Amino acid sequence: MADDTGSNGTLARIVMKFGGTSMAGTERIRRVAGIVKRQQEAGHAVAVVVSAMAGETDRLVNFCREANALYDPAEYDVVVASGEQVTSGLLALTLQAMGCKARSWLGWQVPIRTDDAHAKARIEDIDADALLASMASGEIAVIPGFQGVSPEGRVTTLGRGGSDTSAVAVAAAVKADRCDIYTDVDGVYTTDPRIVAKARKLPLVTYEEMLELASVGSKVLQTRSVSLAMKEGVRVQVLSSFIDESAPPADDLPGTMIVSDDELEGSDMERQLITGIAADKNEAKVTLTRVPDRPGAVASIFAPLAEANINVDMIIQNVAKEKGETDVTFTVPQADLARALAMLEERKEAIGFFRLISDDHVTKISVVGVGMRSHAGVASTMFKTLADRGINIQAISTSEIKVSVLINADETELAVRVLHTAYGLDAAA
C-alpha cells in the first residue's frame, strides 16, 4: 500500500526512526544500518532519527537524581541528551563502515528549535535547509531524537518517548513522503495480540483512530507524535525493526500505515466498521454519594480537580434517589487517585456529599473506528455483547469515533475477546 515513489513521481524522501531496543549496542546498530542502507539503495533520500541505547536514559536520569533530587531541568537536559548524541554518532560511523555517506546532526546543529520548557520542551521550528542539502547529496542524515535547542541556545529534551515526535517533526520539515517508525512490534493490531490470539494487524488506521488506540493503552507510538503527524499531514508507518535483513525493503513490509481520513477513503481497502478494541487499566473510579442536587454542586467537585491538573474522564450523574440528592461517579488516572481523594475529603463540607468511595480495580474498554460516524448500533452491540456474558457496565463515555465502558478489571480479557468477535475483527482461522 505504501508507494515506492514520492508524491511528485520521483523517488521518495524518507525519515526512519529506531527506538532504544534497536540501538542497544554496536551489534544491533549494525542491523539498523543494514535496514537504512537498503532504503538508500532503493534510491530514496534518507534521514534517520535515533533513540539512546535501551537503559542509557534511565542510567543518566538516575545520575541526575543522585546529584540533585530537585534537579534543574536545564542541566538534566544536558546530561540525558548525551544518550542520543552517542547513538547518532555510532550509527553514522556504522553506515560509513558499510560504504554509505552519513553524518550526524545534533539538535543545535540542525537546528531543531524548541521552547524553553526544559525536560518537556515542544518543537517550534526545524530549519530543514542543511538537512535537505545533506540528503540531496546522497548523505544519510542521522539525527538524535528527543533533543533540541532553546531560544537561549541551551540543550532541551522533549520528555520521555520524545524521539517519535522528533521523527515526525523532521519528516514534516523535510516534507518527507513517509515517516517509518521501527518498533519492537510489527504494526498496529485490532487489539493486544497477547490477549486475543486472533487479533489482526491493521494495514491502515487514521490519525484519530491511532490517537484513541494510543491513549487507551496501545503504546505503539507516543500520542504527541500522532497528533503532530495529523496536524502536519505526515504519513507514518509503524514497522518492526526485528526483521530478516535479507528481506525486501520496508516499502513491501506488512507494517501499519497511519493516514488521514481522506487517504483512507481514497484507498480501495475494505474497512471494518470498527478498527480496534483497546483496554486501559490505568483509570480509577471515584463515587461521591448523596451530593445535593442543585446548581453549582457538580462544579464544586470538578473545579479543584481541574486546577490541580487531574484529568477527569468519564462522568455519570445518577438519577436522584432521595429527593434533592444525587450520586456522582467519575474516573481519574490511577496515579492521581490519592491526590484526588485527599482534595475531595478536604472539601467534604463545601461539596456536601455523604460518602467518598473509590475503586482502582477497573478497566476502560474502548471500541474505536472512524466508520462509527456513519453507522448506528455500535454502542448497542457493545452493551448487548457484554450483558450476554454478565459483564456489568459501571460507566459509559463516547466520542465521535469511540465508545468506552468501565468494567471490573477481572473481566478485561473476556470483554476484549467477546467484543473482538462481535465486531467481526477475528482473523480467519
Q: Residue 72 interacts with a second copy (CB under 8 A)?
A: yes
* Contact call for residues 225 and 280 (beta carbons, < 8 A): no
Verify binding: residue 64, a second copy, rule CB under 8 A: yes
153 versus 324: smaller Cβ distance to a second copy: 153
**Binding flags for a second copy, 27-46, as an x/- string (CB under 8 A):** --xx----------------
Give the residue from 403, 342, 364, 353 showing the smallest Cα distance to 284: 364
Q: Using CB under 8 A, which residues numbered 140 to 169 contact a second copy?
A: 153-155
In terms of CB distance, is 42 or 93 closer to a second copy?
93
Rounded to a whole number of angstroms, the minimum distance from the CB of residue 182 to a second copy is 19
- Strand order, beta sheet including 147-149: 123-126, 112-114, 147-149, 155-157
Alpha-carbon distance of 143 to 7, in angstroms, equals 24
3-state secondary structure 217-263: CCCCCCHHHHHHHHHHCCCEEEEECCCCCCCCCHHHCCCEEEECHHH
Instruction: Pick out residues in 73-102 that bind a second copy (CB under 8 A).
Output: 74-79, 81-82, 85-86, 88-94, 96-97
- Total residues contacting a second copy by CB under 8 A comes to 40
Please tell me whether residue 133 binds a second copy under the rule CB under 8 A: no
If one asks whether residue 60 binds a second copy (CB under 8 A), the answer comes out as yes
Q: Which long-range contacts (CB under 8 A, 24 or more apart) does 227-231 make?
A: 228/165, 228/168, 228/169, 228/172, 229/168, 229/171, 229/172, 229/179, 229/258, 230/260
By CB under 8 A, name the one of 37, 40, 48, 71 that touches a second copy. Answer: 71
Cis ω for the linkage preceding 111 (within 30 of 0): yes
CB of 63 to a second copy, least distance (A): 6
CB of 26 to a second copy, least distance (A): 4
**Smallest distance from a second copy to CB 13, Å:** 23
Of the candidates 252, 255, 260, 170, the residue with the CA atom closest to the CA atom of residue 3:
252
Provide the binding-site residues for a second copy, judged by CB under 8 A.
Answer: 26, 29-30, 60, 63-64, 66-72, 74-79, 81-82, 85-86, 88-94, 96-97, 103-104, 106, 108-109, 153-155
